[in-house]
Structure formats: structure tokens, C-alpha cells
Structure 1
Amino acid sequence: MAPQSPPPSNASPGAFCAKRPLVTLTKRADFLLAARAARVPTPAFLLQARKRNDDDATDAIRVGFTCSKKVGNAVARNRAKRRLREIARAVLPVEGKDGWDYVLIGRKDATATHDFRAMQADLYRALGKAHG
């Protein structure tokens, strides 16, 4: 494997690491399996994480997002899900483990307004608890 060249000076700090692609969960059955697995609460969201069985076809990191109507109207739910997608896109390729499913659930009055950097730090901590 050839060594990687350093990032350009105008690149963002996280742009240099080799990131693994995330696969989005779409089937209800996958969400239900994650609901029975480990739960790690944070101030702005709830993380559900589970290690998939060996018979699953892919070893990719899979992630799902959900916000109930308790979070607010459609605009508030979509904003909360966009924020959850962004923290997952930044953190999971680095800290997530292959063969795991993660579901991020938005919280009422918190997900859409919580500090973004704090949410990223919360996800790092939550992943440490889920894996440990």
C-alpha cells in the first residue's frame, strides 16, 4: 500500500483520515433488532448499537436515524435528522466498528438546538460505552 500524501493546507482536519462508507438502515426489522440491543443515552440523542450476526452478508457500518413526532413538526424532525446524519458522517467512519448497526434517535427540544461539537463528543463517548 502506497503511503498517503499529507492533506492540502486548505483541507478540514478530519479530511485526511481514510473513511469507510456508511450504509443506511432502511428496513424496519433492522431498527427493531437495534432497539433490543445496547442503549446509550446522551443529552441530545439516544444511541442504539448492536453487533450483527456472522451470517449477515456485509461487514459495513450500518446506521439509521429516527425522530418521532414528539420532536416536533416535519421541519423540526428533518432538521434534527440532518444534524444526526452529519455527526454520524463525521464520527462513525473513524470510531464505528465493521459489522455493527447503529441507530441515532432524536430527542425533543435537544437534537435540533444542542451544540454541534458537543453532539460529536457525545457520540464519541456513547460509542466507547457501546463497544466496551
Structure 2
Amino acid sequence: MTPPEAPVTDPQGRGAGSAPAVSVCPQAAPVQRIDVLRKRADFLRAAAALRQGTSGFLLQARARSPEETALPGLVRIGFTCSKKVGNSVLRNRARRRLREIARLVLPELAQPGWDYVLVGRPEATISRDFAALQADLARALRDVHSGRAQKARPRSEPAKGRRRGKG
């Protein structure tokens, strides 16, 4: 006789079948893997595409071209907090909070073939209620995928990295 298995629960203690999964795009393949953006060029490409502001952070998103998409269920995400957020302790705390809301929300609402960047806001990312941050990310993802997000403003001068000097 095998022992009965414990019911699967999510971090809030609800049963796995208690809340229906929200699907933004029903014909899209499910998210199979989430990778972290590490290259500056990937962050810049996401910043130049779509953006959706929330009270706790800014979401930047872009759909990758089919040539860029190596794996069919891949979503990539990046996290950034400028020095305006605070010292290194506060920036790291803000990034940890952003990573955790992404871990909880992205598998349900992200679409494969997209890059997302979460940009922390000064004071708001750290002080905002965690449940409210999760709701902000869910709403921002829905807005991005439904076409309600804003297109990024074009830069007056392209960002090319550090300047070596003029002359």
C-alpha cells in the first residue's frame, strides 16, 4: 500500500486546483523555462520596446524575433535598480522582491518568446505591500499583451556604452 500524497499547495497555502490559471493568450505554448537576462544589449532592446508603469516598478517588454528564439517555451527576464533606489542593501532588497514576484507570476501570465525587464522604483519597490506588487505585475503583463502598454520613446542619441572621451 502506498501512502496518500499530500495535496500540492502554492506559497499562499491554497490548493493547486483552487484558482484557475489565467491565460492571456490561449493558443500560446506554455512557459517551459525562465532564463535571466545578463547582457546589457538585451536590457537595452527591452527598454526600446514596450513599457508599462505600475506603482511599485516599471515593466519593459519586447517580443523576440523567431530567429532569436532558440527554445520554444523560453521566457527571459531581467531585474535592475538604479542608485536612486538607495544604497546597495536597499537595491538588493528591491531586486530580491522583484525576483520573487516574477517567480510567482510569470509562469501563469508570461508568453514564450518575450523578454521582460523589471525596473525598481525609489522607495516604492521596497515599501509597497508584496501582494500589491504581485497584482501590479499581473496587471502590467496583461496590459503589455493586450496592446495597452506604451511604446518606448525614441532616444535622442543611441546608447553605445561608456564614452571614451571627446576630441
Which TM class, normalised by the smaller chain length? 0.7 to 0.9
Q: CA 1:19/1:54 → structure 2, altered by over 3 Å: closer, same or farther? A: closer
Counterpart amino acid of residue 55 in structure 1: E
Who is 1:55 aligned against? 67
5+ residue gaps in structure 2? 22-29, 147-167
Deviation digits for residues 40-70 of structure 1 (CA, Å, limit 9, x no counterpart): 0000000001100110123301000000000
Deviation at 1:15, TM superposition (A): 5.8
Greater mean deviation of Cα atoms: 82-91 or 54-63: 54-63
Deviation digits for residues 11-63 of structure 1 (CA, Å, limit 9, x no counterpart): 32376789733100001110000000110000000000110011012330100
Q: CA 1:14/1:39 → structure 2, altered by over 3 Å: closer, same or farther? A: farther
Counterpart amino acid of residue 76 in structure 2: R
Give the whole-Å Cα distance in 1 for the aligned partners of 2:80 and 2:127. Answer: 16
Aligned with 1:24 (options 36, 53, 71): 36
Counterpart amino acid of residue 30 in structure 1: D
Q: CA 1:58/1:10 → structure 2, altered by over 3 Å: closer, same or farther? A: closer
Counterpart amino acid of residue 88 in structure 1: A
Larger fraction in helix: 1
Who is 2:98 aligned against? 84
Check conservation: 2:31, 2:112, Cα contact below 8 A: no
Over the aligned positions, Cα root-mean-square deviation in angstroms equals: 2.0
Deviation at 1:10, TM superposition (A): 6.5
How much identity, in percent, do the aligned residues show? 56
Count of residue pairs brought into register by the alignment: 126
Check conservation: 2:56, 2:128, Cα contact below 8 A: yes
The equivalences for 1:40-119 within 5 A come to: 40-56=52-68, 57-59=70-72, 60-119=74-133
Tell me which structure has the larger Cα radius of gyration.
2
Who is 1:127 aligned against? 141
5+ residue gaps in structure 1? 1-6
State the SS of the aligned residue for 1:33. Answer: helix
Give the whole-Å Cα distance in 2 for the aligned partners of 1:30 and 1:14. Answer: 37
Give the whole-Å Cα distance in 1 for the aligned partners of 2:142 and 2:118. Answer: 15
Deviation at 1:131, TM superposition (A): 0.5
